[in-house]
Structure 1
Amino acid sequence: MAKVHKKEIRRQEIVAAAQAVAARDGAEGATLRAIAAEAGMAANAVLYYFGSHAEIIAAAVHASSDRFLEKLDEAIDPGMGPTARLAAVISAGTTAGLDDDVSRILYEYWPHMLRDPEQRRIQEELTAAQERVYRDIIDAGTLSGEFSPVLDPARIARTLVAQEDGLVMDVLAGSASSEYVLDLMGSLAAALLGVKEEILLGLVSARNGSSPAA
């Protein structure tokens, strides 16, 4: 196993501190001073490891993005059929980042992509990766005959990711429950892919230990 350099360990600790502050106090509260305090360092010492506050934030958002994608990958078992994989990704994409603040951190910085090119790049890469996950499942399901897409698969993948993004914001804001969002996502995916709604919703609910919404 490759030895991790002490400087890299310290960088990881600073990134973790930035994530913790952003999750607790929001993007506005994640100042250089606050991140340094969380890491147990002086602010000028933090800049030895990162060139700027913006660089720290970009690293924190990128780490959160990577962890979210890991959660999607962890949700899928190689032996799953396309419909089961679809249910797993809907479930993970909607709820996986809520248990450890990954989604909250990503959403805190989502508006920053309007003005920050680096934040825009990170968010665009995350969206493209999410779309690829859905597209691979759609292609496999179409090939096996489980799915009958009503739109171009790329459009369906984009629609599902966009819908998921907006609905998770509702969950974070407290204006919708995870159960409601999962049911809505499952119903939408079933309609777009020609899957029996009750089957897909049953699989989604089974992964979350709940009953399909009425």
Structure 2
Amino acid sequence: MARPKNQDERRAHLIQAVIDTTASTGLRSLSLADVARRAGLTRGAVLYYYDDLDALLREAYRAGMERFCDRRDALRDTVTDPARLLGETIRAGLPTGPDDALMRLLYEFDVVAGSSPLHTTLVEAMYERQLATYLAVLERGADSGVFDLSLDTSTAALNLVALEDAYGLHIVAGNGQITVSRAVQAMFGAARAFGAPAV
């Protein structure tokens, strides 16, 4: 495996090694040596860039936050129609399929939350961001009169986060009955049921 020369590239390379290794070994069994092996580096070389495995895991989780939170929040600057914004937010919050290694890593964190302060803190931060994302979209739709919500916005947002997490878990677990398109349509249906049509 080619070794990047640039420090930012090397760090990105290591984060991808964490994601790829976790997809095959699981988070509970992950070791710094596993990551180093996957990256084609020595353990000492990895420690040059990150203090320990927890530091690497924090960075990998940050990559998940960027993809599933930061990018979705940025949609609010470019998508003005609330129904389309809700639809794009739902789509962008689901895994791309069973082989979505980054989403699998995020779910692995959910599994070990409660047994580690680091994992618990990261999972809680992700949940708060998911909730805030949906809350902002629903409030925009309600304020503009496009959504006629039968639930208060916080409860509606809570329901969407719960559906997103549940369907996403089924998708990465390879449950063939829950495809990405079926999950999207199911979430659209739930949103329509409480007055927030998504397209």
- Larger deviation, residues 96-105 vs 158-167: 96-105
Per-residue CA deviations over 1:54-90 (Å, capped at 9, x if unaligned) read 2222221222222222442465562431111111111
Q: Check 1:89–1:98 CA distance in 2 against 1; reply closer, same or farther (3 A cut).
A: farther
Q: Distance in 2 between matches of 1:98 and 1:173?
A: 6
Match of 2:189 in 1: 187
Contact 1:68–1:103 (Cα < 8 Å) also in 2: no
Unpaired segments ≥5 residues, structure 1: 204-214
Q: Check 1:50–1:87 CA distance in 2 against 1; reply closer, same or farther (3 A cut).
A: same
Q: Which amino acid aligns with 2:50?
A: F
Q: Normalised by the size of structure 2, how large is the TM-score?
A: 0.84
Aligned-partner SS, 2:78: coil
Q: Which amino acid aligns with 2:20?
A: A
Q: Distance in 2 between matches of 1:6 and 1:112?
A: 33
Contact 2:50–2:56 (Cα < 8 Å) also in 1: yes
Alignment of 1:81-120 (within 5 A): 81-96=81-96, 100-120=100-120
Percent of residue pairs bearing the same amino acid type = 28
Per-residue CA deviations over 1:77-129 (Å, capped at 9, x if unaligned) read 62431111111111111245867532112112221211111222222122211
Match of 1:24 in 2: 24
Q: Distance in 2 between matches of 1:130 and 1:97?
A: 19
Alignment of 1:118-157 (within 5 A): 118-157=118-157
CA RMSD in angstroms, aligned pairs only:
2.5
Contact 2:82–2:146 (Cα < 8 Å) also in 1: yes
The structure with more helix, counted as a fraction of residues: 1
> What is the count of residue pairs matched by the alignment?
193
Unpaired segments ≥5 residues, structure 2: none
Which consecutive aligned stretches of 4+ in structure 1 deviate over 3 angstroms post-superposition?
A: 5-12, 73-77, 95-100
